[in-house]
Structure 1
Amino acid sequence: MSEYFGGKRGQAAPRGLPESGRSEPWTPFPGRRPDTVSSADIPGRSRPRERSHGRHVAPPAPEHVRFGLPFNDILPLWHDGADITWHRPADAVDFASILGLGYVQTEPGPTATPNGWQELVETATLLPAAPDSDDGPVLQLRAATPAGRRAINDPGDGAPIRLSPALPAQEAMGVASGLDHTRFAVHIGRLMLRAARDGAILLFTLRAPRDPEAHHLLSVPSEVDARQVMHFHLGTLLDMDDGAWAHAKRADNMTLLDLDIPYQSLLSKSGQVGQGLELERLTDMARPVVECLLRPGFPFALGFSVILHER
C-alpha cells in the first residue's frame, strides 16, 4: 500500500510527500522546515491580525435607504443603486405597524405624476456596522408627524433601530417557513385605509435583480365619500382573471377592478375596548391587492409609495 502514498519503489516521492520509510514529520515544504520559517507562513494557517499602530480607520459612511414592503418581520432596504438587503430588527420593532402609515419622513419619489400630484417615498439613514464587528447596521428613522414621533419613539433627532446583519436571500425569502399571509394582508389593509383617508394613490412596484429601476405592479387610487364608503380603483398590467379578480375588466392593456367598501362594515364591537377593526373583514378587503402582489412570486422585492395631492 505504500506505493500509493510514497510512489513506487525506486522512484522519488511526489513533491511535498515523505518518502516511504522516512521518520521525519511531514511538512508542506520540500525537506524539513527551515528554522527561519514562521508558523504563520504554513499554508492553511491564518495569519495573526496586524495591529494598526495608531493608524486611524475611517468609519463606514452613512447610507441613504428607502424601504421595501415588510413581510415575516423582515425589512427590505432599497439602497441607492440596484442593491436590496434584508434585515430583522434586533429589538421588538414591528415595521408593519410603522411604515406606509404616514409616520415616517418622506422625500419626492421618481415616478412621473400628473400636475398637482407628487409621489412620496419613506426614507431613512443607515449607519453601517464597523468592518470588524459582528453587529448589524443601525437604522436612523425620523418621524414626520407628532403621531409618528410617538409611534417610533423619536425624541426629535431620530430613533435608532438596531438591525441584524444582512440575511442570506434564501432565509429572507422564507424558504423554510413560507409567507405569513394574514399579517401581510393586515398590513396591506392598513395601507389601503390610510390611502382612502388621504385621497391618495397607493403605488406598488417590483424590483428585478441588478435593476435600479422599480417597475409598476399595481396602482390603487383611493377615496372616501361623505357616507364613509371607501372606493378603491385597482389597475395592473398583469393578467388577473381569477380569485378576487374574477369579475375584473380589461382596458388599455390593463386589468381593472373597483372595490366599494363601507368603512362601518370593517368595525366590530370588542367589549369594553369599543370599536375596532374586524380582522377577517380587513384581510378580505385586502385580498385583491394581495393576490396581485403575490402573482409574480414571493414578495421579497416589492416597494410601495403614495401619490398625494400637492398642498
Structure 2
Amino acid sequence: MTDYSRNKEVFAASRLSIAPMMDWTDRHCRHLHRLLSRRVLLYTEMVTAPALVRGGALHLLEHGPGEHPVALQLGGSDPVELAQAARLGAEAGYDEINLNVGCPSDRVQSGTFGAVLMKSPARVAQCCAAMRAAVDVPVTVKCRIGVDDQTPHEVLPHFIQEVVAAGVTRLTIHARMAWLEGLSPKENRDIPPLDYALVHEMKARFPALHLSVNGGIDSLEAVQSHLSAGMDGVMVGRAAYHSPAQILCAADRLIFGETTPDSTPEGAARAMMDYAELHLVAGGRLNQITRHMLGLFAGRPGARAWRRMLSEGAHLPGAGPELIEAALGLVEDVQAA
C-alpha cells in the first residue's frame, strides 16, 4: 500500500535538494548535510542496478535513519533489472527512487545508461513504468536538456512527454547539454552553457509536472529566484558540497518557512565529533568523514586554518575526533581575535 504521507513529505522536501554526486554524497556527507538542514532532500551517489541485482552489493544501500528524507539514485537501462533494484532500494527504506539520465562519464556510457539515454526516451519511459510498478515510493528522473547534436527545444519536450506518460510526476533537469564525445565529465559540468530559460519554459508547458532546475546554482538567493519564477524545486550540487553552511544553514528558514533558529557550522562540527567516534570504533578512518567537512567554514575567518589542519592530520595513524575539536578551536580563536 502506498504511504501517501511519506510521498507528500519527500515532494515537499524537493523544494530544495542536494544533487547526487559520485565520490561526494556518501553517507558521511549526507549526515553532515542533515545536521545543517532538517528539511532538504538528500540523494545518494549513483548506484548501478547491475551492482545491486547481479553483484549483490547491498552495502551500497547503507544509510542512517537520521538522513531522511533521502533518495536513492539508480543507473541502468534494463527495465526488469531497474525494477528489481528499485524494489531493493524501497525495502532498504529510501523515500524516493531516482533514475540517472544525466551522467556523461565514459563508464556510464559503456553501460548504456546515464546521459546517453536522452537519445532513447521510449526506453527511459519503459524503465520508469517498470520501476513504478515495483515500488510504492516516488520514481523520479534527473536528466539533461539534451546530448551531443540534439536540439534541446525539440528533444526535451518529447523526452518529458514520454516519461510523464509512464507516470513520472517529478523531474529534475540539469540546464546544460551533455557532450558525450570531446568533453570530460568535469568539463561537462562547466563548459556547455546553462539554459535556465528552457527549463522554465518546460514548467510553463507542463504545469502539472513537478519540475526542479539544476546546474550552476551557487547561493540561496539564486534558489529563491528560481522558486519565485515558478519552479517547483531547485537542486544544488557543488556549492552545497564546497560551501555547505552557506547553502544549508539558513535553508530551513528561507526556503521552507521554518521559525526555528538557523543551524551553525560550529554546531555541526561538534556533532560530527560524536559521529566520527562511532565511525572509528566501527573500523573506519577519520579522513573518510573530514574530507566532507573541509568547506564547512568557507568564506568565514579561520576557514584556511580549519581546512589545513583537517587536510594534514586526518589521514595520519591514530587521528581521532580531537583533531576536529582542535581545528574548531583554531576557527574560534581567529573569530575572537
TM (norm. structure 1) is 0.24
Decide which structure has the larger Cα Rg and report it.
1
Higher strand share: 1
Higher helix share: 2
